[in-house]
């Protein structure tokens, strides 16, 4: 049973901080996620913090920088290359989706793990990609030259769009690589990113959930942690070492730029860096915008997902087949659910809204007297006026997103709607059949990971939440159907899941092969989907779109004003899934008070947590045997094996899998989480509580060599100091 995590009672209220204009500045070397290409001109902070290698070793465009060893893994994680043969290290949870696609009841890699014993045993992962950033260049002047700040947004966007398209085309021609121009600082800066994306990625090593997901939701976003959150893949290339689709003849990607692994460890206070692709932060929004997140959006998400996760967990615990279908989806849903709880709590305890309001008073004083940007004095008033009138719409939209479209059968009504549009388009029969056939192919993945009985339980749990808490925006069809079934959500669900084609792959494929408009429009899934989408389009979408469009412009101008006030020196751009470096130091945390202070965890502590009666705390027998016999090999440290450590680097979603480097740029760990008290760092960074949690690379190597018997992989890696002789199975 999933439970809302209870607040830690001993956590002290945080002292109110005296505000200065630099509240969100880089006055602390630890705050902020910096663009690597900017260090060449502004390196004093990172050097004074402890960096002990030349700046151009961190990043350069000639192919010799560490940027060539850090990759965007899939669509939302980071990975690092740890051998000259394309061996890639990332998080267990980052590889989860790909491994689910490779798993079955016969090959249950979540229960047993997977360890390739040669290149021939490495498993192709369809759809998985790895992207290398070869260089970045500031092209702001070429994009914004001659464009006035207050130009009408549509006209401004049109000019910028044309310039971006043409400039990207030029970069692609000259570099022979991918080129993408991205907006930074709310559209006040633009950078071109030159990259290469590899498409043949294969699974090499994946520990079972009893290691890679040890602690589950209970420990997620918490410190201390004892999770071996890693997986290993390999990048493959064609004969020219270039990106290519999967081919059995492809070879491991060859590179001179990979990370050296440091096996001597760290101590508290040591310099660390996190190099990766942080997803999204919003450090510069106003207090009212923050309140919408903290008091409306996050609470609705938490409430809805709590109910959904309760149903999923019960059914997954009772049926292994349901577990395999939903384990990746559940991990994704639960990750945000737990994070948002910590986020709300941290923002509230830190009085961040009040701090932002104090900051806004100081900003307004500056805007009223400074003539550099005449429009600045009205910015906050305009943002607040627009924000304060949209709360009800924002709440309704979030309830629809989480509580209605969180039901898979209703989500899938969108596919029926696509089919209906094809039928209504009057296509010739042959073309119609071909189009519907292509649509139906997408259903294979859906039904592979779908259980109608499980989804029906979610319907019964979520529909009352939407109907009863959102009465102003409930479609009449929903009210009529509920009344028809005597206000019984269970009876309503029984009818829906018995009659809808979406609940049965056979029925859905029948519609695709025998298209019938009436069958679609009579289907409960389509009716539920159509009713909620129609209501949202009429009552919510247009107004919210207009609001969001106006905020894009106002937030851009507000960001520009903050940059001007700070003289462009003290502000770092929000994260936007582009390559960044954050740096700080190994630093412990005491969430339960001084008695709980720690900066490192060990295998001894993990074994104490082992509990065979609780799946998320069930440790594999082999790992316990290694512990009982103290069979740690070269990875023993003070009679145990270190598992995780904590530092005060500023990280975000997307930094999962990021390499954690020491002062010499050597790999000491893999970032995988944040401390619950500091998950607010997407909006506000507080050095006292914000911590990133990383897996000690020595635990990774211990599990690979001793648990997985895959020590042949270590022969590819470069270590410092050089480890003892490796006695392992030979690579075929």
Q: Give the tens place of pLDDT for each residue, 577-595.
A: 999 999 999 999 887 666 6
Cβ–Cβ < 8 Å for 639, 686: no
For residue 167, say if its preceding peptide bond is cis, omega within 30 degrees of 0: no
The reply to whether 656 belongs to the active site is yes
Residue 514: predicted pLDDT: 82
Residue 505: predicted pLDDT: 84
The vertex-432 CA angle with 427 and 433, nearest 5°, equals 160
**Token pair of 242 as six digits:** 């270039």
pLDDT tens per residue across span 597-645: 899 999 999 999 999 999 999 999 999 999 999 999 999 999 999 999 9
How confident is residue 677, by pLDDT bands cut at 50, 70 and 90?
confident
Q: Is the pTM of this model over 0.95?
A: no
Architecture of domain 30-129+199-280+578-720: Beta Barrel (2.40)
How confident is residue 725, by pLDDT bands cut at 50, 70 and 90?
low
Among 353-357, 516-520, 615-619, the minimum mean pLDDT is found in 516-520
The reply to whether 93 belongs to the active site is yes
pLDDT for residue 728 is more than 50: no
Residue 245: predicted pLDDT: 98
Residue 25: predicted pLDDT: 36
pLDDT for residue 9 is more than 50: no
The reply to whether 549 belongs to the active site is no
Q: Are strands 77-81 and 87-90 parallel, antiparallel or unpaired?
A: antiparallel
Cβ–Cβ < 8 Å for 366, 30: no
How confident is residue 564, by pLDDT bands cut at 50, 70 and 90?
very high
**Could you state, in order of their start, the residue ranges of all structural domains in the chain?**
30-129+199-280+578-720, 131-197, 287-548
pLDDT for residue 397 is more than 70: yes
The one catalytic residue among 135, 440, 500, 656: 656
The one catalytic residue among 178, 219, 229, 696: 229
pLDDT for residue 159 is more than 50: yes
Residue 510: predicted pLDDT: 83
For residue 721, say if its preceding peptide bond is cis, omega within 30 degrees of 0: yes
Q: Are strands 667-674 and 70-73 parallel, antiparallel or unpaired?
A: unpaired
Give dist(CA 652, CA 180) in Å, integer: 22
Kind plus residue range of the DSSP H or E element containing 601: strand 600-602
Residue range 238-258: average pLDDT? 98
Cβ–Cβ < 8 Å for 289, 548: no
pLDDT for residue 419 is more than 50: yes
Higher local confidence (pLDDT), 22 or 721? 721
Cβ–Cβ < 8 Å for 693, 274: no
**Token pair of 306 as six digits:** 């709590």
The one catalytic residue among 92, 93, 585, 650: 93
Give dist(CA 371, CA 377) in Å, integer: 9
699: closest CA among 226, 84, 260? 226
Residue 593: predicted pLDDT: 63
Residue 436: predicted pLDDT: 85
Give dist(CA 690, CA 647) in Å, integer: 9
């Amino acid at each position: 049973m999933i439970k809302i995590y209870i607040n830690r009672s001993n956590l002290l209220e945080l002292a109110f901080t005296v505000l200065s204009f630099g509240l969100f500045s880089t006055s602390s070397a630890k705050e902020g996620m910096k663009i690597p290409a900017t260090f060449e001109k502004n390196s004093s902070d990172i050097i004074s913090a402890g960096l002990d290698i030349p700046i151009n070793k961190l990043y350069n465009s000639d192919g010799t920088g560490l940027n060539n060893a850090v990759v965007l893994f899939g669509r939302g994680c980071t990975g690092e290359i740890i051998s000259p043969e394309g061996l890639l290290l990332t998080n267990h949870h980052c590889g989860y989706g790909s491994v689910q696609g490779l798993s079955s009841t016969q090959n249950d890699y979540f229960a047993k793990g997977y360890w390739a014993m040669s290149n021939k045993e490495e498993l192709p992962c369809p759809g998985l990609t790895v992207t290398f950033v070869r260089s970045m260049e500031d092209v702001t002047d070429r994009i914004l030259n001659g464009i006035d700040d207050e130009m009408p947004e549509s006209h401004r966007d049109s000019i910028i769009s044309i310039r971006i398209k043409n400039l990207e085309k030029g970069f692609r021609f000259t570099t022979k690589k991918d080129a993408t121009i991205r907006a930074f600082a709310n559209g006040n800066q633009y950078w071109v990113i030159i990259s290469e994306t590899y498409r043949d990625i294969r699974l090499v090593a994946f520990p079972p959930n009893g290691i890679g997901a040890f602690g589950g939701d209970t420990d997620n976003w918490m410190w201390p942690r004892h999770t071996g959150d890693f997986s290993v893949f390999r990048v493959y290339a064609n004969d020219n070492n270039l990106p290519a689709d999967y081919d059995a003849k492809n070879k491991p990607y060859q590179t001179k730029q990979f990370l050296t692994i440091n096996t001597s460890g760290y101590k508290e206070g040591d310099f660390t860096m996190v190099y990766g692709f942080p997803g999204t932060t919003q450090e510069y929004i106003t207090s009212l915008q923050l309140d919408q997140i903290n008091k409306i959006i996050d609470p609705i998400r938490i409430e809805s997902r709590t109910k959904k996760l309760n149903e999923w967990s019960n059914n997954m615990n009772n049926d292994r087949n349901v577990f395999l279908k939903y384990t990746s989806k559940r991990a994704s849903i639960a990750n945000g659910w737990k994070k948002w709880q910590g986020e709300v709590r941290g923002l509230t305890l830190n009085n961040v809204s009040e701090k932002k309001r104090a900051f806004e008073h100081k900003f307004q004083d500056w805007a009223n007297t400074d003539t550099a940007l005449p429009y600045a004095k009205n910015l906050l008033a305009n943002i607040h006026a627009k924000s304060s009138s949209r709360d009800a719409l924002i709440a309704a939209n979030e309830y629809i997103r989480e509580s209605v479209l969180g039901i898979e059968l209703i989500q899938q009504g969108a596919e029926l709607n696509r089919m209906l549009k094809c039928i209504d388009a009057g296509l010739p029969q042959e073309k119609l059949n071909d189009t519907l056939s292509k649509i139906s192919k997408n259903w294979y993945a859906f039904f592979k990971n779908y259980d109608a009985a499980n989804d029906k339980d979610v319907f019964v749990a979520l529909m009352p939440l939407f109907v009863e808490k959102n009465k102003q925006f409930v479609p009449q069809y929903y009210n009529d159907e509920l009344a028809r079934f005597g206000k019984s959500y269970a009876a309503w669900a029984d009818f829906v899941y018995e009659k809808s084609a979406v609940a049965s792959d056979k029925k859905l494929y029948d519609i695709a092969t025998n298209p019938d408009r009436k069958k679609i429009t009579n289907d409960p899934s389509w009716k539920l989907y159509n009713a909620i989408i129609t209501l949202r389009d009429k009552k919510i979408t247009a107004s919210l779109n207009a609001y969001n469009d106006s905020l894009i412009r106002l937030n851009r101008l507000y960001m520009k004003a903050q940059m001007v006030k700070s003289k462009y020196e003290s502000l770092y751009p929000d994260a936007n899934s582009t390559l960044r470096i954050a740096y700080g130091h190994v630093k412990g945390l005491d969430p339960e008070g001084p008695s709980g202070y720690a900066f490192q965890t060990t295998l001894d502590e993990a074994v104490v947590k082992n509990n065979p009666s609780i799946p998320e705390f069930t440790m594999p027998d082999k790992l316990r045997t290694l512990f009982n016999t103290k069979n740690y090999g070269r990875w023993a440290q003070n009679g145990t094996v270190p598992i995780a450590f904590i530092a005060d680097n500023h990280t975000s979603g997307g930094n999962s899998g990021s390499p954690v480097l020491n002062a010499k740029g050597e790999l000491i760990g893999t970032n995988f989480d944040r401390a619950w008290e500091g998950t607010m760092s997407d909006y506000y960074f507080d050095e006292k509580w914000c911590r990133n949690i990383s897996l000690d690379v020595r635990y990774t190597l211990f599990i690979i060599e001793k648990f997985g018997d895959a020590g042949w992989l270590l022969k590819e890696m470069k270590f410092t100091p050089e480890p003892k002789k490796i006695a392992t199975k030979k690579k075929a």
